[in-house]
Amino acid sequence: MNKNKIIFLAAIWIVLLLIFIIFILMRMERTTTVSQDSLTIWTVWHSPEQFKSVSEQYALDTGRVLGIEHKDFESYSDYKEALLLELAIDDGPDIFMLNNSERILLSERISGILPEYIAPEDFRKSFLSPFSEELIDTEKVDGKNIDYVLWVPAWFETLGLFYDRRSFVGQDLETWAWVGEAIEDIKDKNSSITPLWIGHWSSVLYSWDIFAQFLINNNTRSLIWMDPSAVKRALWTYKFYSDSDGENNYAAISKELEENAMNNISLFSSWDIKMLVWFPSILAEIKKSGFSKNFLSAEPFPKTSTTDNKLIVNYNFFVINEESDEYDAASRFLAYLSSQQWAETYYDNFTQRLPAHSLITQKLNQKFDPDFNISYKDVLKDQIEFVSFDKWIVREFDEKIPSILNLEDQRDAEKLIFRLSDSINCKQNTYMWDTASNPNCKK
């Protein structure tokens, strides 16, 4: 074979080899390339470290890289103000969080999640009531009713009764009537003790939610639609425990507390009171104050009767901004957040709040805090019905209610509650995004 022919054949083999190598490399690239999503997410009370672990776990479980631009706020009020400014100019994050107390107010600024991403029938199985129904809506498409998920809950909490177990040995605290009996027993033994800290003055943390719970007990679930008799009964029940003529010894020290900028946690930790009502996140504050972990117990919020099983529920949830250009990526991410594999990771970082996912039935012995012997089952009893209270504008409700509860004259308090209702109703109808002031609304 002559030299030129050998060179020609060698060149052909080299070309074929290069084509083969390029083919193999392209195939390898196709098989190793990971799809990538990019989302902007705003949250409340979620650390950057937590969301970094989210994106890492998401990639492992789904095979998609998730780039998250995450912004977190420590204050819900600051968060809401910043969010409204963004939404007002049709901008904002792809995904953001809202609270159930004002879920109706912003419902027109979010996109629902199509069934191909989250099947409503699976969602109902995965989450507890009321989430499994409150968060699903129905639209008529081509003459058929189609269900779809509106948003995905993160966690929830409900009010509980926290107390010094040494003072209530053998006492049943299921109803307010029985709590009253327990208070009388304590006062008979030591008249200087304040058994329960509920009433007026700013020293009662979360007084606004305690009052909302009493409204729920009287079949009222919204600030906008209230029955006068229900408001009267709720106010009477709340203020009963701060009555200067009552047996709770409340009024004797409440003004002193206010003057010294102290609250019910301060007294509870120093053994001056024996019971208080708050959310399980109270444990973080009690822990800071040095209360002995050996003496703390918890029960669900007492019933007004043995047949009353409604408890207020407070929860945050993730939604998709209707202005987002990343609807598919956002829907995929929220579908992942609704899965059990994600829930098992997520709730390990939020033990002081309750899992909205049905896996809570497997975690009833989970402690809210390892330093306290209080578990999920202590504040959750069988046949409890969780109910949302619609505040419509959370910050205004939470800021105004304590001063109303301070009033000695109940009739004045009733008038101001209905004035607050009218004001918030006016604002949400006319200036939905401006919660500061509306000259056409009563103050």
Q: What is the distance between the alpha carbons of residues 14 and 41, in angstroms, rounded to a whole number? A: 52
Q: Angle, nearest 10°, between helix axes 327-337 and 48-62?
A: 90
350 contacts 157 by C-beta, under 8 angstroms: no
Domains of the chain: 36-156+313-379 (3.40.190.10), 159-312 (3.40.190.10)
Amino acid at 41: I
Instruction: Check pLDDT > 60 for residue 33.
Output: no
Tokens of 209: 């939610």
Tokens of 156: 């929830």
Give the contacts of 415 (CB within 8 A, at least 6 positions apart).
Answer: none
DSSP 65-115: EEEEEEEEES-HHHHHHHHHHHHHTT---SEEEEEGGGTTTTGGGEE-B-T
Q: pLDDT tens digit string along 307-350? A: 788 899 998 899 999 999 999 999 999 999 898 878 877 777 66
Q: pLDDT tens digit string along 34-67? A: 567 889 999 988 877 777 777 788 888 888 888 8
**Percentage above 70 pLDDT, the chain:** 82
Nearest alpha-carbon partner for 167 in 152, 178, 183, 153: 183
Handedness of CA 101, 105, 111, 113 (dihedral sign): positive
User: What pLDDT does 22 receive?
Assistant: 65
Tokens of 67: 């780039």
Mean pLDDT of 269-274: 73
Handedness of CA 206, 382, 339, 61 (dihedral sign): positive
H or E element, residue 413: helix 410-430
Report, in angstroms and rounded to the nearest whole number, the Rg of the chain calculated over CA atoms. Answer: 28
Nearest alpha-carbon partner for 280 in 295, 298, 293: 298
The reply to whether omega before 130 is within 30° of 0 (cis) is yes
Confidence of residue 252 (pLDDT cuts 50, 70, 90): low
Q: Tell the residue number behind the tokens 């578990």, with chain if given.
A: 375
401 contacts 211 by C-beta, under 8 angstroms: yes
User: What pLDDT does 11 receive?
Assistant: 61
Measured from the Cβ of residue 418, the count of other Cβ atoms closer than 10 Å reads 13
Residue 295, CB half-sphere, CA atoms under 13 Å: how many? Answer: 15
Instruction: Check pLDDT > 70 for residue 436.
Output: no
Q: Angle, nearest 10°, between helix axes 207-217 and 228-240?
A: 130
Amino acid at 387: V
Q: What is the distance between the alpha carbons of residues 156 and 128, in angstroms, rounded to a whole number? A: 10
64-68, 129-133, 403-407: segment of lowest average pLDDT: 129-133
Q: What is the distance between the alpha carbons of residues 149 and 317, in angstroms, rounded to a whole number? A: 12
Q: What is the distance between the alpha carbons of residues 319 and 95, in angstroms, rounded to a whole number? A: 6
Instruction: Check pLDDT > 80 for residue 371.
Output: yes
